[in-house]
Amino acid sequence: MTFDLHHKELFAALALVLTFVAFVPYYRSIWQQKTRPHVFSWLIWAAGTVIISVAQWTDGAGIGAWPIAVSGLLTFGVVLLALARAPDTSIVKLDWLFLALALTALPLWFFTSTALSAVIVLTIVDLLGFGPSARKAYERPDEENATFFAIAVVRNGFVIAALENYSWTTVLFPAAVGAACILFVLLILARRRIAKPA
């Protein structure tokens, strides 16, 4: 089934709406100190997501790259808000390892010869960003917001549908992040169920 530009615009609009539907309550939850995101993860995600949107744009993603770009900017907002309102001070050596791996890999995109190479590197970096948050969610699942990541799964589906050009460069990142979000939601819910008193 193929979609015309009108449908692509609709999917992009839905993805943008879902981006704000996810981020606005998430910001509020951080402000109220109910959610305490791991700053390392969000810093990695912010940097990688903005660069990915540029790589997608250069490979013809068109309007499908806009929700990713907006998400990247809003992710930087999470970093700043988390530092100001709800800093997670439970940083362990493993978190530093994930951050070091991501920061080491992040500049590699600049030296890649193709947009696809950059997207592969940055997708790996983004997935590394889940490391600190997964460790934290395993230990303290109530400090994570499963709804945000569940909405991100649906949003990434609309991002893929909105792409004007389908290639590994344009599809890999939203597909991989969507899959990682599913696993992260399952981790949060499973740990909450185990932690819940009988």
Give domain limits for the chain.
5-190
C-alpha 170/C-alpha 186 separation (Å) is 26
CA 51 to chain centre: 13
Which pLDDT score, from 0 to 100, does residue 181 have?
97
Q: Which of 27, 128, 31 is nearest to 73 (CA)?
A: 27
Which pLDDT score, from 0 to 100, does residue 71 have?
93
Each residue's pLDDT tens digit, 41-78: 898 898 888 888 888 888 777 888 889 899 999 999 99
Tell me the whole-structure pTM to 2 decimals.
0.83
Do 165 and 59 touch, CB atoms closer than 8 A?
Answer: yes
Half-sphere CA count of 119, side-chain side, radius 13 A:
25
| Token representation of residue 165 | 């050009």
Do 121 and 105 touch, CB atoms closer than 8 A?
Answer: yes
| Token representation of residue 160 | 């893929």
Place of tokens 């599809």: 171
**pLDDT surpassing 80 at residue 87:** no
Which pLDDT score, from 0 to 100, does residue 27 have?
95
Place of tokens 């600049």: 110
Place of tokens 């010869």: 113
The pLDDT-based confidence of 96 (bands split at 50, 70, 90) is confident
Q: Mark residue 60 as left, alpha or beta (left: phi above 0; alpha: psi -120 to 50; beta: remaining).
A: left
